[in-house]
Amino acid sequence: MTMKSFEQQLQNKRDNNQYRHREVLQSPQSVRIRLNGKQYLSFSSNDYLGLANDPRIIEASIDALRHYGLGSGAAHLITGHSYLHHQLEDMLAQHTGRSRALLYSTGYMANVGAISALCGKGDLVVEDKLNHASLIDGGLISDAKFKRYKHSDMENLEAILSKSVETNKLIVTDGVFSMDGDIAAMPLIMKLAKKYQADVFVDDAHGFGVLGNRGGGICEQFSLIKDDEPIIMGTLGKAFGVFGAFIAGSENLIEWLIQQSRMYVFTTAMPPSLAAASIKSLEIIQKENYRREHLTDLITFFRNEVKKIGLSLMPSLTPIQPIIVGEEKKALEWSDYLRDHGVLVKAIRPPTVPIGTSRLRITFSAAHSKEDVSTLIKLLAKLV
Ligand SMILES: *Cc1c(COP(=O)(O)O)cnc(C)c1O
């Protein structure tokens, strides 16, 4: 594509209702936000536990700013690996029941950095078709043979594994699928992995902090407690309300990533104050069960009420509750209607989701009240 043809391509996007633009947030992330000068009740963040603006976490971060300053000033392997980073890694290892954890600056980098360090020429990466873009990119740049199986289709996965000739095989899956909200069939995936001697990598961006009794995520939920079975990627920017990500697994896995993962080696460490914030956030996540319990109540309430008004839901038990609308235009109209009535729900369109499955992606937070959910339901009822 030349620069000149961008104009035509951009126009195509407008014509297809696929054009995207950013809006300016003028308040902290929360369920009540100020966006583009207007106040909204929002169902559009990944701040599942309502921690993004928690005063205790902010305080911990300010404290760290005073002691450790602002910038980390270097990569982890040079002089950027502070005491706080180290402490957070130890805590994350303990929380996930793994031997070690390794911080990355973002989840995107953790996925690409880990998959491309674990697999290369002559290996096989097998991914669920609905995996997050960063997992797909990790598989693609790894140079391994790259295959995708139909969403959560274990027969399809087995067919691929049984035909493979590669010795090193890595099965890669989202824990909670980010646009559908359903959960990967981890026990079945682990069973197939064992049968075909493959490793498993699970991206728990939306489950970590939310699933499991103590917020240990999808592996706690399914009692998957062995070091690299599976390898875990978790993010700190969603339920944690902070920023960053990590990989958790065995001693050898983490040492290998430290030597070999380009997205780890060749980048500046996150500011130590963010590590301090995540330490505080983890303490809260472990202690305050009522956040997860309240969230579960809201999800159950929402699903019951939505069925009453005749809208169909996806089989999701997580805070991600999409309503499939179909065409891009209709999804935008529905989203606009809600917005005109003070409620923010984003329309998700291709290429983020397959054509014909444009949707309202509703996400819940422990900071929502039942009344907030009722407000949303009442408006949705007018759209049916
Ligand atoms: C958000 C997300 C990521 C990326 O994490 P960041 O820390 O935002 O870069 C990776 N995987 C999934 C499934 C996600 O939803």
CATH number at residue 24: 3.90.1150.10
CATH of the domain at 282: 3.40.640.10
Last residue of a domain, one of 287, 314, 340: 287
Catalytic residue among 132, 206, 280, 294: 206
Q: Are residues 219 and 283 in the same domain?
A: yes
Question: Which atom of ligand 1 is least distant from the CA of 243?
Answer: 7
Q: The sheet that has 346-348: what strands, in order across it?
A: 320-326, 358-363, 346-348
Q: Which two tokens stand for residue 301?
A: 């309430």
382 C-alpha to ligand 1 centroid (Å): 33
Q: Are residues 187 and 268 in the same domain?
A: yes
- Nearest 5°: the CA angle 127, 217, 242 is 100
235 C-alpha to ligand 1 centroid (Å): 7
Q: Which two tokens stand for residue 333?
A: 């109209």
341 C-alpha to ligand 1 centroid (Å): 30
Question: Domain total for the chain?
Answer: 2
330 C-alpha to ligand 1 centroid (Å): 27
pLDDT above 90 coverage of the chain, percent: 95
Of the candidates 49, 105, 65, 93, the residue with the CA atom closest to the CA atom of residue 284: 49
Question: Which atom of ligand 1 is least distant from the CA of 174?
Answer: 13
- Nearest 5°: the CA angle 188, 289, 98 is 45
Binding site membership of 206 for ligand 1 (Cβ less than 6 Å): yes
Which pLDDT does position 177 carry in this prediction?
Answer: 97
d(CA 110, CA 245): 7
Binding site membership of 108 for ligand 1 (Cβ less than 6 Å): yes
The pTM assigned to this predicted structure is 0.96
Q: Is 213 helix (H, G, I), strand (E, B) or coil?
A: coil
Which pLDDT does position 242 carry in this prediction?
Answer: 98
Contact assessment for residue 144 and residue 167, using Cβ atoms and an 8 Å cutoff: no
The verdict on residue 4 lying in a domain is no
Binding site membership of 104 for ligand 1 (Cβ less than 6 Å): no
Instruction: Give the HSE-up count for residue 10: Cα atoms under 13 Å, Cβ half-sphere.
Output: 8
Q: How confident is the model at residue 377 (pLDDT cuts 50, 70, 90)?
A: very high
Q: Does the annotation mark 206 as catalytic? A: yes
Burial 129-140 (b: 16+ CB within 10 A, else e): ebbbebbbbbbe
Q: Are residues 219 and 132 in the same domain?
A: yes
Q: HEC profile for 139-171?
A: HHHCCCEEEEECCCCHHHHHHHHHHCCCCCEEE
Bond into 351 cis (ω within 30): yes
Question: Which atom of ligand 1 is least distant from the CA of 177?
Answer: 13
Q: Are residues 70 and 24 in the same domain?
A: no
The verdict on residue 298 lying in a domain is yes
Q: Are residues 234 and 344 in the same domain?
A: no
Q: Are residues 317 and 213 in the same domain?
A: no
Binding site membership of 232 for ligand 1 (Cβ less than 6 Å): no
Count of CB atoms situated within 10 Å of the CB of 311: 17
Dihedral of CA atoms 345, 350, 355, 360 in degrees, nearest 10, equals: -10
d(CA 300, CA 149): 31
Residue that has been written with the tokens 């319990």 in this structure = 293
d(CA 22, CA 314): 27
- What is the per-residue pLDDT across 93-117, written as a single tens digit (0 to 9) for each? 999 999 999 999 999 999 999 999 9
Closest residue CA from atom 4 of ligand 1? 107
Q: Are residues 97 and 119 in the same domain?
A: yes
What is the pLDDT averaged over residues 179-203? 98
- What is the per-residue pLDDT across 193-224, written as a single tens digit (0 to 9) for each? 999 999 999 999 999 999 999 999 999 999 99
Q: Are residues 112 and 130 in the same domain?
A: yes
The verdict on residue 22 lying in a domain is yes
The verdict on residue 2 lying in a domain is no
d(CA 384, CA 380): 7
What is the pLDDT averaged over residues 27-54? 97
- What is the per-residue pLDDT across 45-93, written as a single tens digit (0 to 9) for each? 999 999 999 999 999 999 999 999 999 999 999 999 999 999 999 999 9
The verdict on residue 163 lying in a domain is yes
305 C-alpha to ligand 1 centroid (Å): 30
Last residue of a domain, one of 264, 287, 310: 287
Question: Which atom of ligand 1 is least distant from the CA of 108?
Answer: 9
- Read off the amino acid at residue 181: G
Binding site membership of 107 for ligand 1 (Cβ less than 6 Å): yes
Which pLDDT does position 18 carry in this prediction?
Answer: 82
Dihedral of CA atoms 346, 348, 352, 354 in degrees, nearest 10, equals: 170
Q: Are residues 173 and 80 in the same domain?
A: yes
Q: Are residues 82 and 106 in the same domain?
A: yes
- What is the per-residue pLDDT across 140-168, written as a single tens digit (0 to 9) for each? 999 999 999 999 999 999 999 999 999 99
Q: Does the annotation mark 151 as catalytic? A: no
DSSP category for residue 262: H
Strand pairing class (231-235; 245-249) = antiparallel
Decide: residue 54, CB within 10 A, 0-12 exposed, 13-18 middle, 19+ buried.
buried
Q: Does the annotation mark 95 as catalytic? A: no
Q: Are residues 329 and 374 in the same domain?
A: yes
What is the pLDDT averaged over residues 258-266? 97
d(CA 43, CA 319): 10
d(CA 93, CA 108): 20
The verdict on residue 260 lying in a domain is yes
Range of the domain at 207: 55-287
Binding site membership of 134 for ligand 1 (Cβ less than 6 Å): yes
Count of CB atoms situated within 10 Å of the CB of 101: 21
Closest residue CA from atom 8 of ligand 1? 107
Choose one of 45, 48, 108, 348 to mutate for the ligand 1 pocket test, by most ligand atoms within 8 angstroms of C-beta.
108
Q: Which two tokens stand for residue 259?
A: 């030597």
Count of CB atoms situated within 10 Å of the CB of 265: 16
Q: Is 72 helix (H, G, I), strand (E, B) or coil?
A: coil
Which pLDDT does position 351 carry in this prediction?
Answer: 86
The verdict on residue 3 lying in a domain is no
The verdict on residue 112 lying in a domain is yes
Q: The sheet that has 343-344: what strands, in order across it?
A: 32-35, 38-42, 343-344
Last residue of a domain, one of 241, 268, 287: 287
d(CA 266, CA 95): 27
**pLDDT reading at 2 higher than 90:** no
Q: Are residues 31 and 62 in the same domain?
A: no
**pLDDT reading at 1 higher than 80:** no
